[in-house]
Structure 1
Amino acid sequence: MRRKMVNSPITYAFGMLAMMVPVQAFSAFYSYYYVEKLGLGIGLATLARTIYLIWDAANQPLFGYWSDRTRTRYGRRKPWIYASMPLFVLTFVMVFAVPEGTKGMDLFYWFLVSLLLYETVSTVLWVNYGALFPELFRGDKPRAKASAVQQAFQIVALLIGTALTPIIFTEYGFRNMALLYSLVFIVFMWICMWTVREREDARKAEPLKFADAFRATLKNKNFWIFNLANSFAQTVNGLLSSIIPFYAKYALGIPESQTSILLASVFVSVIPLVAVWYFVVRKLGGRKGWQLSLAVYGLSVIPLWFAQGLGGGIAAGVMAGFGLAGFLVSPAVLSSRIVDLDAAVTGRRREGVYTAVAGFITRSSGLISAVAFWIVGLLFGYVSGDNPGPNPEATFRYLISVVPFGLLLIAFLISLMIRRGPLDDPQKGNG
């Protein structure tokens, strides 16, 4: 049975489920926890996020480079993931285990330190897990299938991490929620790693030296266009998940107990829609499928502006879910093709460097999101849950609809800079 599970799209996707449950709970509710519940000022929250990105700029490419150079009998990626698992649990719990009575600058320092530690360990996990995808699955069709399965698991995780989380922390508190999700992470990530077998050919070639590795990466025009567009689109993913609790309270006027229903409307709808986008991407190819997904995603957030009450929010959430499903499926196929073309030129598979640099570019979306939150908050006078300002409804309608539409329009226009060429010549099979 284990032999059948080796490098299976399903067991590989268990890793996505494992990481995304706690990661989504973090991204959706850390701002709500610190700003709304604990009273941390939005300016200090933005400052902490900025400091993190400076640190992230230094460590993410290095982790990717070190991962590519790792040579063990267990592979290049698995040793890093195994070593990071207990550290991830500790740092995730730390984020939501703020000592009682911590306020002001003490709260800021706790937030900053826990954020830096958590994001550092998360970087190691994401770089190495993401680097496995183009190595394990070769060819556009196997990758489209694996990506669809992976994203279906991701949506289940998003649903758990967003819709179930308010129920858990309302009943048991944020700290116990973090402990429960840490257990989920350990179980499913271990199953994933137990069934992964890295390819021998991927680690036979002598790795490039540091300067040569990054020089080759920086010269790849399609890589930069792809990830720059994705950074704007990825911001929307973060905004939707993190702003919905505020949107539900201030714009739709529904009680906190119904937030889970609203979140479920977005993420439950995505699960069957992932299958639709699998066939779209398989038919159009990675480049065209990705570009179409950005356009559809942009249109899908418009109804969120007009929604009223729980019913209107659910209907708008389902529409947004269709756009989100396309963006979840399409990037993995195109990014893997970019890695393949690089390997053909350099003679070395450098998934780690590409995943790390891509991760830094797209994770800069965190800064875009934080700055958007801060600017819109200033415009409408929102400071925190203790001081929501004169018009919190407008604040969060802009943040969940107008800002995402603008970001996705920018992403789509950037995506058009990738012209027809080698990226439209998919490999066959899973060789």
Structure 2
Amino acid sequence: MKSRPFLNSPAAYALGMFAMMVPSQAFSAFYSYYYVEKLGLGIGLATIARTIYLIWDAVNNPMAGYLSDRTNTRHGRRRPWIFAAIPFFMLSFILVFSAPGGMGDAGLFVWFLTALILFEGVATILWVNYGALFPELFRGDRLRAKASAVQQAYQIVAVLIGTALTPIVYDAIGFGPMAVVYSVVFAVFMLWFAFSVRENEEARKEPPLPLKEAFRETLKNKPFWIFHIANSFAQTVNGLLASMIPFYAKYALKIPESQVSILMAAVFVSIVPLVAVWYSLVRRLGGLRGWQLALAVYGLSAIPLWFGQSLGGGIAAGIVVGFGMAGFLVTPSVLSGRIIDLDAEKTGRRREGVYTAVGGFITRSSGLISALAFWIVGMIFGYVSGDDPGPRPETTFRVLISVVPLLLLAISFAISLFMKDLGEPTDTTKGLDNKRRAGSGEHGQKIDSELR
């Protein structure tokens, strides 16, 4: 068989992260700014829309994972869903940033809610199936740490495009055309990824657990719950920082909109080399200790943002918070993979889809925490919208970008202390993984090469 070293490699898998993160980051960073600041939608209505979405997400996320685990085609379990979702993701992303002009609050709310539900529904299918591939393709802490570091390096480049470049793009061509451009970028790289991975055929031969048993086993897994609840608070900070930077730049730093890209670049460019630092730390400390350290450092790194007074001060604080964010981006994948491995040892089935979906719902519920924080802090200090910023908008966004992240990450770190060391893979698991790798052709050769 002709060698294809790129097939199932960490770089091939990371292409999917890059593809999804370009539009997803632009969405998370600028949808609030677009609807609240630019179009004048009240933050109360925006919060209601996010709450309705969360109810919808509670249904579609776990079911997407269960259906993915039960899919069995010659192309795999995950890839058919990914291929089918690509055009719908493109369309829904364009709808988010193409709100017609002249609508009142009610019409704008309906448009926002509809676009949000469509976008997040299709995004669920993509993220669940993409995430389910990680623990199947990469086995063992060492390889997972390496694959996670590569994946996060690609992610940071995508985040940089989705945040720092986006203001330049929408300022030049508008929000709607920007969405079209990013959708095309997504399609090109997502297809490249999907054609560059192959699923484990042995995993598809294992009969799936019945629905009730599958969710019962998932819901009674204590490490799973501790891990994802802690991560949900930390993930809130990721979204909050990205979405608050445009407001922070305008009201706290008082810099023009044209300099927002510079501020965002300071945060996200700094993360790229720092990913390697955290990869080294995880290899030394292990998945659990590395994750806990990352949460603590991330919380402390948000403090300097309170003191920024100008573009220069904002850049310095952004570099500091970039170090904390880099740790949180690298460390969770290693630990979540180990949780799924232990479940496979117990049940005899690999259920990456259900675990990724339920975990994804818990983590993505952070969007509601972020929306509630925005609403509550806004009410306290009088911010309503761009049309009515209230008497203390500067304080509003200093609190949201510094104090709230510190508190959320303190909660996340406290929860993480309840997690026990999950240990190393057992001999049985290693033997099973070696057997699967040996039976997976090029993929097995690739992993064996990486481990050596």
The answer on whether the counterparts of 2:49 and 2:113 sit within 8 Å (CA) in structure 1 is yes
Structure 1 Cα separation of the partners of residues 205 and 291 of structure 2: 32
Judging changes above 3 Å, is the alpha-carbon distance between structure 1 residues 389 and 345 closer, same or farther for their aligned structure 2 residues?
same
Amino acid at match of 1:277: W
Q: Secondary structure at the match of 2:331?
A: helix
Q: Distance in 1 between matches of 2:177 and 2:360?
A: 30
What is the aligned partner in structure 2 of residue 300 from structure 1? 301
Q: Confirm or deny that 1:10 pairs with 2:11.
A: yes
**In structure 2, C-alpha distance between the alignment counterparts of 1:143 and 1:277, rounded to whole Å:** 13
CA deviations 1:16-64 (Å, max 9, x no partner) are 0000000000000000000000000110000000000000001100000
Deviation, 1:420, is 2.6
Q: What amino acid maps onto 1:324 in structure 2?
A: M
Q: Within 1, Cα distance between the matches of 2:164 and 2:104?
A: 28
1:99 correspondence with 2:116: no
Q: More deviation in 418-427 or 359-368? A: 418-427
* In 2, Cα distance between equivalents of 1:368 and 1:216: 27
Amino acid in structure 2 at the alignment position of 1:191: W
- After superposition, the Cα gap between the structure-2 partners of 1:4 and 1:15, relative to the gap in structure 1 and judged at 3 Å, is same
In the other structure, the counterpart of 2:220 is 219
Matched ranges for 1:195-206 at <5 A: 195-206=196-207
1:417 is the counterpart of 2:389? no
Alignment partner, residue 158 of structure 2: 157
State the partner residue of 1:54: 55
Query: 1:424, CA displacement in angstroms?
Result: 8.5
Q: Which amino acid aligns with 1:138?
A: R
User: What residue number does 1:45 align with?
Assistant: 46
Alignment check: 8 A CA contact 1:262 1:310 kept = yes
**Per-residue displacement from partner, 1:290-327 (whole Å, max 9, x unpaired)?**
00000000110000001110000000000000000000
Partner of 1:181: 182
User: What SS does structure 1 have at the residue aligned with 2:5?
Assistant: helix
Given that residues 64 and 357 in structure 2 are in contact (C-alpha distance below 8 angstroms), is that contact kept between their aligned partners in structure 1? yes
Please say if 1:128 is aligned against 2:145. no
Question: Which runs of 5 or more residues in structure 1 are unaligned?
Answer: none
**What SS is found at the alignment partner of 2:195?**
helix
- Alignment length, in residue pairs? 431
Separation in 2, partners of 1:424, 1:9: 21
Distance in structure 1 (CA, Å) of the matches to 2:138 and 2:156: 21
1:362-392 CA-to-partner distances (Å, cap 9, x unmatched) read: 0010000000000000000000000000000
Relative to the length of structure 1, the TM-score reads 0.98
Shift, 1:177, TM fit: 0.3
- State how 1:23-422 maps to structure 2 within 5 Å: 23-422=24-423
Distance 1:190 1:366 in 2: 28
Letter in 1 for 2:221: N
TM superposition score normalised by structure 2: 0.94
What is the identity percentage for the equivalent residue pairs of Structure 1 and Structure 2? Answer: 70
For the Cα contact (< 8 Å) 2:232–2:364, is it kept in 1?
yes
1:19 and 2:10 correspond: no
Q: Give the superposed CA RMSD.
A: 1.3
Per the TM alignment, residue 422 of structure 1 is displaced from its structure 2 partner at its CA by 3.0
User: Residue type of the partner of 2:226?
Assistant: I
Shift of 1:102: 2.0
2:426 and 2:304 map into 1 onto residues whose CA distance is: 36
Matched position secondary structure for 2:41: coil
